[in-house]
Structure 1
Amino acid sequence: MQTKIPRHKSIRYDRTINFLQKVLPAPATILDLGVRNPFSEIMESYGYTVYNTNGEDFDFMPEVVKNFKVDAVTSFEVFEHLISPFNILREIECDKLITTVPLKLWFANAYRSSTDMWDRHYHEFEDWQFRWLLEKSGWDIKESEKWVSPVNKIGIRPILRKFTPRYYAVYAEKNIGSLDK
Structure 2
Amino acid sequence: MYENSFPNKRFKHTVQFFRQHVKTSETILDLGVENPLSDILKSNGYSVKNTSGLDLDLDTSEIESSKADVVTAFEIFEHLLSPFTVLKSIRANKIVVSIPLKLWFSSAYRSKTDMRDRHYHEFEDWQFDWLLEKSGWKIIASEKWTNPTKKMGIRPLLRLFTPRYYIVYAERS
- Bin for the TM-score computed over the shorter chain: over 0.9
Q: 1:142-157 residue pairs with structure 2 within 5 A?
A: 142-157=140-155
Question: Retained in 1: the 8 A contact 2:74–2:98?
Answer: yes
TM-aligned CA deviation for residue 5 of structure 1: 5.2
Give the number of equivalent residue pairs.
173
TM-aligned CA deviation for residue 47 of structure 1: 0.7
Give the Cα separation in 1 of the matches to 2:171 and 2:26.
15
Give the Cα separation in 1 of the matches to 2:79 and 2:62.
17
Give the Cα separation in 1 of the matches to 2:163 and 2:104.
11
Counterpart for residue 24 of structure 1: 22
Counterpart for residue 136 of structure 2: 138
TM-aligned CA deviation for residue 93 of structure 1: 0.6
- Output the TM-score relative to the length of structure 1: 0.92
Q: 1:37-56 residue pairs with structure 2 within 5 A?
A: 37-56=35-54
Give the Cα separation in 2 of the matches to 1:73 and 1:128.
21
Task: Provide structure 1 residue ranges, at least 5 long, that are not aligned to the other structure.
Answer: 176-181
- Output the TM-score relative to the length of structure 2: 0.96
Give the Cα separation in 2 of the matches to 1:132 and 1:158.
29
Counterpart for residue 171 of structure 1: 169
The runs of 4+ residues in structure 1 deviating greater than 2 Å are 2-7
Q: Matched residue of 2:117: which SS?
A: coil
Give the Cα separation in 2 of the matches to 1:133 and 1:69.
23
Counterpart for residue 90 of structure 2: 92
Counterpart for residue 5 of structure 2: 6
Counterpart for residue 80 of structure 1: 78
Give the Cα separation in 2 of the matches to 1:83 and 1:136.
16
Q: 1:63-78 residue pairs with structure 2 within 5 A?
A: 63-78=61-76
Moved more, 24-33 or 128-137: 24-33
The amino acid of 2:5's aligned partner reads P
Give the Cα separation in 1 of the matches to 2:34 and 2:170.
23
TM-aligned CA deviation for residue 3 of structure 1: 7.0
Question: Retained in 1: the 8 A contact 2:2–2:8?
Answer: no
Q: 1:104-119 residue pairs with structure 2 within 5 A?
A: 104-119=102-117
2:13 to 15, 20, 31: 15
Counterpart for residue 158 of structure 2: 160
Counterpart for residue 102 of structure 1: 100
TM-aligned CA deviation for residue 10 of structure 1: 0.9
Give the percent of matched residue pairs that are identical in Structure 1 and Structure 2: 55
Q: 1:116-135 residue pairs with structure 2 within 5 A?
A: 116-135=114-133
Q: CA RMSD in A?
A: 1.3
Question: Retained in 1: the 8 A contact 2:64–2:89?
Answer: yes
Task: Provide structure 2 residue ranges, at least 5 long, that are not aligned to the other structure.
Answer: none
Give the Cα separation in 2 of the matches to 1:64 and 1:50.
14
Question: Retained in 2: the 8 A contact 1:63–1:88?
Answer: no
